[in-house]
Amino acid sequence: MPVLVMKFGGTSVATLDRIKRAAKRVGVEVAKGYDVIVIVSAMSGKTNELVGWVNETSPLYDAREYDAVVSSGENVTAGLMALTLQEMDVPARSWQGWQVPVKTTSAHSAARIEDIPPENIMAKFAEGMRVAVVAGFQGVSPEGRITTLGRGGSDTTAVAFAAAFDAERCDIYTDVDGVYTTDPRVCDKARKMDKIAFEEMLELASLGAKVLQTRSVELAMRYKVKLRVLSSFEEQSDEAGTLVCDEDEIMESNVVSGIAYSRDEAKMTLVSVADRPGIAAAIFGPLSDAGINVDMIIQNISEEGRTDMTFSCPTDQVARAQKAMDDAKAKGDINFHDLVADTHVCKVSAVGIGMRSQSGVAAKMFKTLSDEGINIKVIATSEIKISVLIDRKYMELAVQALHDAFELDKAA
């Protein structure tokens, strides 16, 4: 029988009633003839509660025991979902990561999936099981210890299973009914897209759109897994939600598909750095070692052997970035006069595969912001993306103005 993967996020399984609603959706797909692999998250709020207990018990915790505790939320949901399906006379059983097994690296709390052998689950399908309910977010290390994949890891689990089992599709059920041209809470003209290309979704996810976890989109793109984002709270049709697919499957698309934003950005400038070969490596090496997620980078024109280097990073990493730079300066690896941090900026981005073949997108974006009196502090571009840093107080205005300028309320 064909295999379908269905993933239910925390809000979709937050209560027993919601688990029953999700189980009914699974039952519909079983009735269509699918063998179904259901990936579940912990019930909404449960993982945060478990993390809190770990921190309260042991502030300098053993990462292996942290994973053992925080992964338990998914185990509970998987068991409850399997029981609910059994009450509906659907042959189902729960699977923890180590039982599949979901083989991962040993990087506790940030493990990466290395292999998912399908034999165990396929053998049970052959014996008459119709639904395998798998605890998302977790796996097993080469040492036999429970690992977790990082927050949002259940999305990655779902896509990895779809790839491993050559599933017809991977349906991600969440609290939104698809992928929108921008955040509907910021712009009331936001429109749900029927289809979006993997590359566009990857950019939107990495730029702040929280519908799908970035790693899950990367996996889907690599293994050509069709992803569908759906609401678990609305009646579904076969065309419901948003399909994330290959660019070739999209007949027509707007030049710009979506406007993304990231509210909590910081702009950091190293003032008067010695301009010499290797200076960029001397700056960004220590930042990388400190785990700083650097995004935009700008180097000013050199004057008298000195230059300014500006980069952006999340606001919660500013203190670590400052320490990394101060430590590098103290060692004599770099020399600069000052480090200035602006923590009142945000990043706004226009994304679209149509940019590859049409010019003028950047000019239109910059003019739109100029017309609204919004000053651009930093610009970064790629083949299908233009990002700017602006004052945070203008974020909503910028998103709305750009959404209007590129007429994203209209379908292609």
pLDDT digits (tens, 9 = 90+) for 264-273: 899 999 999 9
**Number of other residues whose CB lies within 10 A of the CB of residue 147:** 31
- pLDDT tens per residue across span 356-393: 888 899 999 999 999 999 999 999 888 899 999 999 99
pLDDT, position 275: 87
Residue 284 has pLDDT above 70, yes or no: yes
Is the bond preceding 286 in cis, omega lying within 30 degrees of 0? no
pLDDT of 295 > 90? The answer is: no
**Sheet with 306-314, edge to edge strand ranges:** 297-299, 306-314, 258-274, 338-351, 385-391, 378-382
pLDDT attached to residue 2: 95
Span of 19-28, 101-110, 243-252 with lowest mean pLDDT: 243-252
Q: What is the pLDDT of residues 46-74, one digit of tens each?
A: 999 999 999 999 988 999 999 999 999 99
φ, ψ (nearest 5 deg) of residue 360:
90, 0
Distance between CA atoms of residues 296 and 55, nearest Å: 33
CA angle 408, 259, 197 (to 5 degrees): 80
Quick check: 106 pLDDT over 70?
A: yes
pLDDT for position 236: 63
Q: What is the mean pLDDT of the chain?
A: 92
- In the predicted structure, residue 301 carries a pLDDT above the cut 90: no
Instruction: Examine the pLDDT at 6 and tell me if it is beyond 80.
Output: yes
User: How far is residue 345's CA from residue 348's CA, in Å, rounded to a whole number?
Assistant: 10
Rounded Cα distance, 180 and 260, in Å? 10
Say what the pLDDT of residue 303 is: 83
pLDDT of residue 239: 63
- Residue 266 host element (H or E): strand 258-274
pLDDT of residue 238: 61
Tens-digit pLDDT profile for residues 178-201: 889 998 889 999 999 999 999 999
Residues of the chain above pLDDT 90, percent? 76
pLDDT score of 211: 78
Contact between 134 and 40 under an 8 Å Cβ cutoff? The reply is yes
Cβ atoms of residues 219 and 277 within 8 Å: no
Per-residue pLDDT of 209-265, as tens digits, reads: 677 888 899 999 999 999 999 988 877 666 688 999 888 888 767 889 999 999 989
Whole-number pLDDT of residue 249: 82
Segment among 109-113, 175-179, 235-239 with least mean pLDDT: 235-239
Q: Looking at residue 166, what is its pLDDT? A: 96
Helix (H) or strand (E) holding 4: strand 3-8
pLDDT in the model for residue 209 = 65
* Mean pLDDT value of segment 116-143: 97
pTM recorded for the entire structure: 0.81
> pLDDT confidence of 412, banded at 50, 70, 90?
low
pLDDT at 248: 81
Of 104-108, 346-350, 379-383, the least confident: 379-383
314-324 pLDDT per residue, tens: 999 999 999 99
